[in-house]
Amino acid sequence: MQFQTPLIPAILIRRYKRFLADCRLPDGREVVAHCPNPGSMMGLKDEGLQVWLEPNDDPKKKLKYGWRLVEFPNGHFVGIDTAVPNKAVKAALIAGQVKELAAYKTVRPEVKYGKNSRIDFLLTQDGLPDCYIEVKSVTLMREKGLAEFPDSVTARGAKHLNELEKMVAQGHRAVMLYLVQRTDCDRFDLARDIDPAYGAAFEKALQNGVQVMCISTKITPEGVWLDQQIKLDW
């Protein structure tokens, strides 16, 4: 998935009110950028971090910049936009780049299912069970090389696991896909200490047939692309 507009570098001053971030551009100007991430953003909102912003000239948007990436001094990137994983996964599914799911030729995003919910992707193919895919953006790293989810309590995430479990009970295939939007992780685990209820819902879903996939990403200021499956460390 390529960014629509070339990104520009900036320095993070502060993130506040969840969806706002003050940033300093290379010319010294301070601007307010939209922060498209409602999570805690642990380790990604410190003053002085190098960030990348996507400018826009859309008259309907109040803010003229959107925060997309964090770049650490060691050259690794983190994608903070929670909308990017679905765009990147959609492109990969359509191109047949996820080999475990490549047999499905029809990819439908945002299909209503369960109780007042929408599945991120519904895959269908003659001769195969329908496949329901929920995508989660993973940005937390507390231990070197270990990506974790979630970074805050997520009752909504537990609900999604429960609904995937119900799809399996109805004879369908269900996949919980964690997309790691970091280039410095090669393992994945749940942050059970942050949200024990989510951990319990995950274990129950796993025991009842929900499949788990964790995929890393290639990230540059040009875009975000799926890379390879990484080790589930539990």
Q: Which of 62-71, 81-90, 194-203, 225-234 has the lowest mean pLDDT?
A: 225-234
SS3 of residue 105 by DSSP: coil
| pLDDT over threshold 90, residue 21 | yes
* pLDDT tens by residue, 123-151: 999 999 999 999 999 999 999 999 999 99
For the chain, what percent of residues have pLDDT higher than 90? 93
- For the full predicted model, state whether its pTM sits above 0.75: yes
For the chain, what percent of residues have pLDDT higher than 70? 100
At residue 154's C-alpha, the angle toward residues 151 and 157, to 5°, is: 110
218: enclosing H helix or E strand: strand 211-220
In the chain, what are the domain boundaries?
A: 8-79, 84-232
Q: Averaged over 183-195, what is the pLDDT?
A: 97
What is the pLDDT, as a whole number, of residue 116?
81
Give the CATH class of 84-232: alpha beta
What is the pLDDT, as a whole number, of residue 61?
85
Residue 225 vs residues 51, 60, 90, 148, 164: alpha-carbon distances, Å: 19, 28, 11, 19, 25
Say whether the peptide bond before residue 150 is cis (omega within 30 degrees of 0).
yes
Instruction: Kindly give the pairing relationship between strand 211-220 and strand 173-180.
Output: parallel
On whether the CB atoms of residues 234 and 190 are closer than 8 A, the answer is yes
The fold of 8-79 is OB fold (Dihydrolipoamide Acetyltransferase, E2P) (2.40.50)
234 pLDDT band, cuts 50/70/90, is low
SS3 of residue 111 by DSSP: strand
231 pLDDT band, cuts 50/70/90, is confident
What is the pLDDT, as a whole number, of residue 198?
97
